[in-house]
Amino acid sequence: MDNLGILIIPIGFMVAAVIGYLAVKKHWKIADIL
């Protein structure tokens, strides 16, 4: 379980970073359209 927890933390961080990046990218596209 310890090894699994060590893997989940960075994976969750990477997923959050990707989602945040896509959200910002999408936001900028919408801003450009408006």
| pLDDT, block means (10 residues), the chain with 34 residues | 81 92 80 65
In the chain, the amino acid numbered 12 is G
Number of domains in the chain: 1
In the chain, the amino acid numbered 30 is I
Quote the pTM value.
0.55
Question: What is the extent of the structural domain holding 20?
Answer: 1-33
- Tokens for 7, please give them: 């893997």
- Tokens for 14, please give them: 């990477």
pLDDT at 15: 94
